[in-house]
Amino acid sequence: MRIRMALRRSLTPTIVLTSVVAVALVSLVVGSRAHAQSAAAELLFRDGNKLMAEGKLAQACDAFEASNRIEPRAGTLLRLGECREQNQQFASAWSAYRDALGRATDPVKRNFAAAQATALEARLSYLTVTVTDDSRIDGLTVLRNGSPFDPALWNRAVPVDGGDYVIAGHASGHDDWQTVMHVPVSGAKITVEVPKLDELGKRTPLLPAEASALSPPVAEPHHDQARPPAATFTTRRKIAVGVASAGVIAMVAGTILGESSETKRDDAYKLCPDPAMQCVQADQANALIKASYRRALEANLTFGIVAAAAIGAGVLWFTGAPVAEDPRRVSVVPSLKPGQAALVALGRF
């Protein structure tokens, strides 16, 4: 209404009016997107509370963490800290409380976060990855559980959750190194040292007894059963990639339909926010609700197709392993029909 009045009364050039309309439309889009993000964060937060009450701590913690990624809030971080603490992930809980302390403005929340973080410090376990000056060769990369470990954290006691940690070293032109360290849940201080990596081809040779102990026995091939090598990327695996690609496209379509359903439902609630009161635009709101249900059903059907595609692609991939043909074999292939997904066994004897 304000935009229309401004257009009637203003005598400014047309380009200025166009800019005003464009800014208003952008504000509406951004506001709607922020509202959707807030709604999604709130939904995940409620799911986290429900799962936590049911004792499903791992799933609850994932829900709180996802909610905080969408919309970081001190209250969400506090619940995430409580969830991680109950799940005996003390380092993650301590980190969540510290993050909540930095974000909270409410004194009650700040005091609670500070108290919880302080109480947890005595229960933390630490893992130190030591890299000596002699081991710091050019291009050295240290990995922890498959992810690069920041050199700034080398030789530092880092708080970690209890569990197994795979520490690996890699450098171009050198042999890779790897070890697994177990860290107790609470009060442990574990140190692992990354050795100087050997250059390729210059590793100290093992004694025959050591080599036989490390190398598993290799069965001699039966020459009468020798088969020609098969191609790694078989036809069936190519089909599996195609099916998986179709599943990805279906997933995108399902997501769009789901978002459209939520948009129509929100539009209906905007027209008639209180179901207990009479609404002048009730017919239009009901039409939007029906359209929302229809889009939701289409989204569910699309995600069903995604699931069938995932199953079919998995079966095709694993049954399409690069093995030579055998006159006696049994194959399992997916059978996809409208409203039906099944596995069919095909045999040759």
Nearest CA to 195 out of 264, 136, 151 is that of: 136
Residues 214-257 pLDDT 10s:
444 444 444 444 444 556 667 877 787 777 788 789 788 878 97
For residue 319, the model assigns a pLDDT of 77
Mean pLDDT, range 68-88, rounded to an integer: 94
308 has pLDDT over 90: no
Of residues 258 and 110, more confidence is placed in 110
**pTM, to two decimals:** 0.49
153 has pLDDT over 80: yes
The CATH fold assigned to 125-201 is Immunoglobulin-like (2.60.40)
For residue 285, the model assigns a pLDDT of 72
Residues 107 and 74: beta-carbon distance below 8 Å: no
The CATH fold assigned to 31-121 is 1.25.40
Distance CA 76, CA 48 (A): 10
Report domain extents, the chain: 31-121, 125-201, 235-348
* CA dihedral of 116, 120, 122, 123, whole degrees rounded to 10: 160
Query: What integer best gives the mean pLDDT of the chain?
Result: 77
Residues 28-67 pLDDT 10s:
333 444 455 688 989 999 999 999 999 999 999 999 999 9
Residues 303 and 255: beta-carbon distance below 8 Å: no
For residue 2, the model assigns a pLDDT of 41
Q: At what angle do helices 74-86 and 14-53 cross, to 10 degrees?
A: 30
Mean pLDDT, range 135-143, rounded to an integer: 95
